């Protein structure tokens, strides 16, 4: 990470966002060629201006909503809760299709160098299933891994561009200005369809606002990160689209549209270096596409959890797995829908492209319009405000055109969104929960009331610290653990014990949580009762973190505790492999003077 506190700086922000938005170049040229022909590069370049203006607004979303939430938070603040629900449903549609198209594209790129024998769909489904398992267990993604992938893909993209400029015949490159000259031959309707379709090249932009809680600051960091994203996208997406749609032979463009960049690398490199360059594209591209599919799954289940907390989705959907403390049902849904879509279209990238657009542009439109409304309320009337209005108009135009030009996208996206809004109404009014309660495995436990606990953040609790304090960290209501902590506090003459519960969040995004999960509240309440029965004051502390061990260590330092009481690990081998060994990592983070007491 970029700072001692573990928060990320602008370079890591760039890397994470580029790992999402940078994947579009692997499949968008082929999708655009099907509708715009050899003008595809021009339309990507044309749309770039509106994309840059929208980036300014996304940075503002990050600053205004430090807790994350993206379009859900913007629409809620600007228009009200139901608009927040609408924004959430639209971005979920986008995430479903992003996961599907990224996973399928990655499999097709692998197939370009290692034949999958006609089993691309099966490999894609298995890949999505693997991502579901990893997310349920709770894979701890690393910003450094994102950095390696982003740098590798960007460098390979630049190498492909340079090799093309050096090796391709002059007449191929000369066709780029020629295509600009032919633009006057296009009908206005063709220009609008091309412009609207080219927005697919910028899918992934919404990732920036989801990173807000993890950023070092909300001033220079998002701005510099976004500038880096814009620069790298401008250097790669338009040129790779131009080169692939103009240089590749006609039969490849018609039959191998799923892997334009791989074929371009092989063609430009020639017999000697072509296969090596193609392998480099496949290695970096397929890895990046798999990462993007995983990012879409993570973003999707975070939105679902946020909507359950706002009472627009049933509570059972956002409930956590008792073993892994991840929203397993939301994760399954985030993978099941893309898998069903892939099976329905038989992994046809052209059909996936036809389905794409509604959720992406709909969420962009709500975000842009929402920022306009918030700026108006703030009294802004200058060039910045009217430039934002122009951006909204540009996005609205693309959205409106796609509603008519992509009937499948409108039907699929509109249908899923409408269903989501009906579910939201059913959840809010109570009839859906009553229906769900009839299903035994989905009904809540009878007679269990949610715990009500007043808790503190680490910063708030620091004002109550005492020298040589005792901190107990637990994920379960374990009597022996709390008794051990109380006895050690009494032996030191202390009258209080700090009790910390950490909602550990795997992945790179933080959910929109302002309080502990129900499981966390239950543990804090049980711990307080057991400690107070020993005649001591229990101070409940809650934190949200990607790394529980590091957070416990930081809390022990902030709270001046030189004794940390934890339970013996009950994590499985798979958990430890993906999310780390808690006690071992805790010892690495703690000061040498701090004693760790492990209660079996």
- The full DSSP string for 182-241 is GGGGS-HHHHHHHHHHGGGGGTTTTHHHHTGGGBS-SSHHHHHHHHHHHHHHHHHHHHHH
Nearest partner of 600 among 569, 558, 572, 560, judged by Cα: 569
User: Nearest Cα to 60, choosing from 395, 378, 303?
Assistant: 378
Sheet strands side by side (includes 537-545): 537-545, 496-504, 469-473, 561-567, 595-599
Region at 39 (left for phi over 0; alpha for psi -120 to 50; beta for the rest): alpha
> Phi and psi for 430 in degrees, rounded to 5?
100, -15
Please calculate the CA angle 11-12-15 and round it to the nearest 5 degrees.
90
d(CA 596, CA 481): 12
H or E element at residue 346: none
- What are the Cα distances from residue 237, in Å, to 17, 200, 231, 241, 393? 15, 11, 10, 6, 23
Q: How crowded is residue 131: how many other Cβ atoms within 10 Å of its Cβ?
A: 24
Nearest of 265, 261, 197 to residue 44 by alpha carbon: 197
As beta bridge partners, residue 504 has: 545
Rg for the chain (alpha carbons), in Å? 26
Q: What pLDDT sits at residue 142?
A: 59
- CA 381 to each of CA 377, 387, 396: distance values in angstroms, whole numbers, following the listed order: 10, 10, 21
Instruction: Give the tokens for residue 171.
Output: 């007449």
Cβ–Cβ < 8 Å for 355, 413 = yes
Q: Which residue has the tokens 């982003």?
A: 150
Other C-beta atoms lying within 10 Å of the C-beta of residue 88: 31
Tell me the whole-structure pTM to 2 decimals: 0.82
CB atoms within 10 A of CB 418: 11
Quick one: angle between helices 28-36 and 188-197, nearest 10?
Answer: 170
Domain spans of the chain, in order of start: 10-427, 458-599
How far apart CA 357 and CA 406 sit, in angstroms, is 8
Q: Are 141 and 509 in contact (CB under 8 A)?
A: no
Q: Residue written as tokens 């009494």?
A: 490
**Spatial contact of 318 and 309, defined as CB atoms under 8 Å apart:** yes
User: Cα 497 from chain centroid?
Assistant: 37
pLDDT in tens, the chain (600 residues): 333 345 788 998 999 899 889 999 999 998 888 888 888 888 998 899 899 999 999 999 999 988 788 899 999 999 999 999 999 999 999 999 999 999 999 999 999 888 888 899 999 999 999 999 888 877 655 567 788 889 999 999 999 999 998 888 777 777 777 777 677 778 888 889 989 999 988 888 888 888 888 888 888 999 999 999 999 999 999 999 999 998 888 888 888 888 899 999 998 888 888 899 999 999 999 999 998 998 899 889 889 988 988 889 988 888 877 777 778 899 999 999 999 999 999 888 888 888 888 999 999 999 999 999 999 999 998 998 999 999 999 999 999 999 998 898 999 999 999 999 999 999 888 877 777 666 666 554 444 444 556 788 888 888 888 778 899 988 776 788 898 899 998 988 888 999 999 887 766 666 665 667 777 888 888 889 889 988 999 999 988 877 788 889 999 988 989 899 988 655 555 445 445 577 888 888 888 889 989 886
**What is residue 169's predicted lDDT score, i.e. its pLDDT?**
78
Contact of 150 with 14, CB cutoff 8 Å: yes
68: left (phi over 0), alpha (psi -120 to 50) or beta: left
Contact (CB, 8 A) for 237 and 44: yes
Q: Are 154 and 22 in contact (CB under 8 A)?
A: yes
Backbone angles phi, psi at 434, to 5 degrees: -65, -35
Phi, psi of 599 (to 5 degrees): -100, 120
First to last CA, the chain: 33
CATH number of 10-427: 1.20.1740.10
pLDDT for residue 448: 42
DSSP letter for 431, please: H
571-578 long-range CB contacts below 8 Å, 24 or more apart? 572/323, 574/137, 575/137, 575/138, 575/324, 578/134, 578/137, 578/138, 578/139, 578/140, 578/506
Extract the tokens encoding 65: 């909503």
Q: How many CA atoms lie within 13 A of 180 on its CB side?
A: 8
In angstroms, the CA 54 to CA 21 distance is 14
CB 494 within 8 A of CB 523: no
Structure tokens at 533: 């029965």
Torsion of CA 183, 25, 68, 508, to 10 degrees: -170
In the structure encoding, which two tokens stand for residue 141, read together? 């993604």
- What is d(CA 135, CA 190) in angstroms, rounded to the nearest whole number? 42
Residue 125 · residue 335 · CB < 8 Å: no
In whole angstroms, what is the distance from residue 489 CA to residue 476 CA?
20
CA dihedral over 105, 106, 112, 115, signed as positive or negative: negative
Q: What is the DSSP string of 454-514?
A: --B-HHHHGGG--TTEEEEE-SS--HHHHHHHHHHHHHTT-SEEEEEEEEE--SSPPP--S
Please give the CATH number for the structural domain made up of 458-599: 3.40.50.620
């Amino acid at each position: 990470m970029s700072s001692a506190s573990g928060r990320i700086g602008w370079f890591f922000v760039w890397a994470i966002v580029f790992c999402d938005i940078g994947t579009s170049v692997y499949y968008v040229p082929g999708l655009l060629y099907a509708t715009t022909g050899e003008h595809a590069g021009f339309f990507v370049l044309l749309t770039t201006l509106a994309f840059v203006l929208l980036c300014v607004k996304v940075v503002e979303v990050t600053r205004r909503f430090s807790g994350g939430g993206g379009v859900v938070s913007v629409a809620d603040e600007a228009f009200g809760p139901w608009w927040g629900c609408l924004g959430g449903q639209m971005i979920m549609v986008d995430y479903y299709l992003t996961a599907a198209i990224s996973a399928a594209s990655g499999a097709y790129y692998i197939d370009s160098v290692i034949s999958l024998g006609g089993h691309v769909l099966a490999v894609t489904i298995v890949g999505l299933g693997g991502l579901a398992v990893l997310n349920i267990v709770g894979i701890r993604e690393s910003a450094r891994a994102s950095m390696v992938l982003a740098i590798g893909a960007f460098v390979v993209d630049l190498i492909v561009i340079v090799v093309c400029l050096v090796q391709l015949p002059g007449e191929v490159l000369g066709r780029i200005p020629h295509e600009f000259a032919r633009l006057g031959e296009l009908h206005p309707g063709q220009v609008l369809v091309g412009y609207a379709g080219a927005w697919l090249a910028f899918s992934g932009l919404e990732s920036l606002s989801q990173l807000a809680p993890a950023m070092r600051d909300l001033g220079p960091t998002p701005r510099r990160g976004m500038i880096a994203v814009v620069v790298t996208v401008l250097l790669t997406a338009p040129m790779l689209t131009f080169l692939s749609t103009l240089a590749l032979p006609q039969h490849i463009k018609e039959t191998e549209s799923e892997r334009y960049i791989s074929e371009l690398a092989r063609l430009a490199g020639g017999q000697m270096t072509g296969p090596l360059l193609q392998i480099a594209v496949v290695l970096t591209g397929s890895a990046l596409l798999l990462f993007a599919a995983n990012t879409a799954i993570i973003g999707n289940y975070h939105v679902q959890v946020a909507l359950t907390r706002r009472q627009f989705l049933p509570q059972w959907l956002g409930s956590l797995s008792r073993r892994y403390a991840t929203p397993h049902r939301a994760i399954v849904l985030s993978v099941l829908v893309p898998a069903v879509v892939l099976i329905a279209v038989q992994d046809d990238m052209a059909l996936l492209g036809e389905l794409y657009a509604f959720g992406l542009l709909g969420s962009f439109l709500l975000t842009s319009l929402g920022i306009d409304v918030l700026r108006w309320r703030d009294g802004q009337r200058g060039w910045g405000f009217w430039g934002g209005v122009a951006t909204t108009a540009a996005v609205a135009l693309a959205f409106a055109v796609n509603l008519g030009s992509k009937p499948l996208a409108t039907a699929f996206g509109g249908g899923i969104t409408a269903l989501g809004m009906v579910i939201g109404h059913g959840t809010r009014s109570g009839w859906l929960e009553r229906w769900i309660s009839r299903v035994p495995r989905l009904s809540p436990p009878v007679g269990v009331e949610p715990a009500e606990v007043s808790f503190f953040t680490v910063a708030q609790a620091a004002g109550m610290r005492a020298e040589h304090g005792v901190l107990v960290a637990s994920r379960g209501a374990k009597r022996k653990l709390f008794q051990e902590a109380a006895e050690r506090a009494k032996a030191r003459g202390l009258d209080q014990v700090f009790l910390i519960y950490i909602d550990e969040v795997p992945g790179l995004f933080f959910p929109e949580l302002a309080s502990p999960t129900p499981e966390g509240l239950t543990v804090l309440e049980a711990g307080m009762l057991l400690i107070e029965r020993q005649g001591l004051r229990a101070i409940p502390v809650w934190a949200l973190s990607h790394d529980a061990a590091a957070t416990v260590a930081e809390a022990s330092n902030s709270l001046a505790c030189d004794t940390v009481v934890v339970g013996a690990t009950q994590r499985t081998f798979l958990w430890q492999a993906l999310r780390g060994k808690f006690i071992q990592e805790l010892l690495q983070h703690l000061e040498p003077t701090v004693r760790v007491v492990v209660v079996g």
